[in-house]
């Protein structure tokens, strides 16, 4: 018996519980938790834009504000997309559980367990990377104070520095640690949100790939040479059933993937557009800080750039895996000895071959298909916008 929530999404459950987005947990405390998190995230983005009111605006300054503000807006978008679709997140978990409950073949159970473990390992790896990145980002503003305390080089206290530009309309020196607390809270909540929501969606996609793999396995078993050598009444019935079940799970996988895209379609499009803009701005900020020899600003924007780049790469790689697994079903159906099978079985195989002529992919609003080719296109677009910004400096 496979328990999706406890076996494959156990770490996702902990992360989602931490930010009030676990769909099976509804209480007054969770509602309060959501309100507080929204307040912390939205207020931080607002306080970044208020810096444009009190500071003389130059191109470098505007780009610095917009690049960080858009980056932190990702946290709000990702949090909001899960919160407003929380019942759909729950429904998709239950659909996966229902599909797994209907698996009886030990090899098919082993396949879905393998893909479920892959999803769990991905979550663990990305969580570890997020913890390291967040820890480095949190240390940056207070590192000079730590070095000063340890080394005792200076008798006086070093100046407080906050590398993310904000305007709280208060004395920054006096309330330095309160401002740092707000920034650190945003980073921790944001990192948890990105990892929790992102790995949950990735887990869904990995399970779709697992279902495609099971469909290929069922076709191979139905059309095995030993079965086709002796086609009697029993074998004929078994062939029909296995091919029917292969078509059925193939259809369920596509239905599940289409539902996943349609549930978050608007948010996905917004994230893609903002990712390209933010990546371009952060590349520009990295380049400018390198020229000005501003190490703190350089590393801050470098971390943001790497996070966005990784986000685009992982999302498009997952889309590419769906395409590859879908194509594998077509290749499997084409390579088996379908012409030796009974006529009814041939018609069912022909149905799969006809479906395979058109590559199945995750299509976002008919505008974007996640794949490695599209990832290269987005990266190229980001670099092009960076060169435009760079040319404006001269």
Q: What residues contact 282, with CB distance under 8 A and at least 6 apart?
A: 67, 71, 301, 302, 304, 305, 308
Residue 194, token pair as written in the block = 């990105």
CA neighbor of 369 nearest in space, from 307, 326, 337: 326
Pair 145, 157: CB distance under 8 Å: yes
pLDDT score for 10: 92
Confidence band of 61 (pLDDT split at 50, 70, 90): confident
User: What predicted TM-score, i.e. pTM, was given to this entire model?
Assistant: 0.90
- pLDDT, tens digit (0-9, with 9 covering 90-100), for 111-159: 999 999 999 999 999 999 999 888 887 877 666 665 655 555 444 444 5
Look up residue 367 and give its two tokens: 């505008």
C-alpha to C-alpha distance for 88 and 67, rounded to whole angstroms: 32
Quick one: pLDDT at residue 253?
93
Burial of 153 (0-12, 13-18, 19+ CB in 10 A): exposed
Average pLDDT, the chain: 86
pLDDT at 155: 45
Whether pLDDT at 242 is above 50: yes
Cα–Cα distance for residue pair 335/352, rounded to 1 Å = 12
Nearest-angstrom CA–CA distance, 173 and 48: 17
pLDDT at 273 over 70: yes
The model's confidence at residue 367, banded by pLDDT at 50, 70 and 90, is: confident
What ranges in the chain are assigned the alpha helix state H?
10-18, 28-49, 51-54, 59-83, 86-101, 106-151, 176-222, 225-229, 233-263, 265-291, 295-335, 343-356, 372-392
SS3 of 364, please? Answer: strand
Q: What's the pLDDT at 338?
A: 65
pLDDT above 80 for 350? no
Res 311 pLDDT > 50 = yes
* Share above pLDDT 70 across residues of the chain, in percent, rounded to a whole number: 87
Query: Which long-range contacts does 59-63 make (Cβ < 8 Å, 24+ apart)?
Result: 59/392, 59/393, 60/288, 61/165, 63/281, 63/284, 63/285, 63/288, 63/389
Length of the chain: 394
Answer yes or no: is pLDDT of 243 > 90. Answer: no
């Amino acid at each position: 018996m496979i328990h999706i929530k406890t076996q494959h999404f156990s770490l996702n459950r902990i992360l989602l519980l931490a930010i009030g987005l676990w769909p099976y947990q509804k209480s007054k405390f969770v509602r309060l938790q959501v309100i507080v998190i929204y307040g912390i995230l939205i207020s931080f983005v607002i306080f970044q834009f208020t810096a444009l009111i009190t500071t003389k605006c130059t191109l470098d300054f505007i780009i610095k504000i917009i690049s960080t503000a858009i980056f932190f807006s990702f946290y709000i978008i990702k949090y909001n997309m899960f919160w407003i679709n929380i019942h759909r997140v729950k429904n998709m978990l239950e659909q996966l559980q229902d599909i797994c409950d209907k698996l009886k073949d030990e090899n098919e159970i082993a396949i879905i367990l393998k893909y479920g473990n892959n999803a769990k390992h991905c979550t663990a790896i990305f969580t570890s990377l997020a913890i390291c990145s967040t820890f480095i980002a949190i240390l940056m503003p207070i590192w000079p104070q730590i070095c000063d305390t340890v080394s005792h080089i200076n008798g006086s206290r070093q100046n407080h520095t906050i590398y993310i530009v904000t305007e709280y309309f208060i004395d920054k020196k006096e309330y330095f640690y309160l401002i740092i607390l707000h920034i650190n809270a945003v980073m921790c909540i944001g990192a948890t949100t990105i990892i929790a929501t992102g790995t949950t969606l990735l887990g869904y996609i990995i399970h779709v790939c697992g279902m495609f793999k099971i469909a290929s396995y069922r076709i191979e078993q139905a059309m095995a040479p030993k079965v086709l050598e002796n086609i009697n009444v029993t074998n004929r019935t078994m062939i029909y059933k296995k091919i029917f079940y292969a078509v059925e799970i193939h259809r369920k996988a596509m239905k599940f993937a289409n539902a996943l895209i349609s549930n978050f379609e608007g948010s996905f499009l917004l994230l893609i557009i903002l990712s390209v803009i933010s990546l371009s701005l952060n590349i520009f900020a990295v380049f400018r800080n390198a020229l000005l020899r501003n190490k703190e600003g350089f590393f801050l924007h470098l971390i943001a750039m790497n996070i966005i780049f990784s986000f685009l790469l992982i999302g498009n790689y997952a889309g590419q895996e769906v395409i590859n697994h879908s194509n594998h079903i077509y290749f499997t159906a084409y390579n088996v000895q379908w012409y030796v099978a009974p006529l009814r079985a041939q018609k069912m195989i022909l149905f799969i071959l006809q479906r395979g002529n058109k590559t199945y992919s995750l299509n976002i609003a008919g505008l974007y298909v996640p794949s490695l080719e599209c990832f290269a296109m987005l990266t190229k677009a980001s670099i092009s916008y960076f060169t435009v910004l760079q040319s404006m400096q001269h």
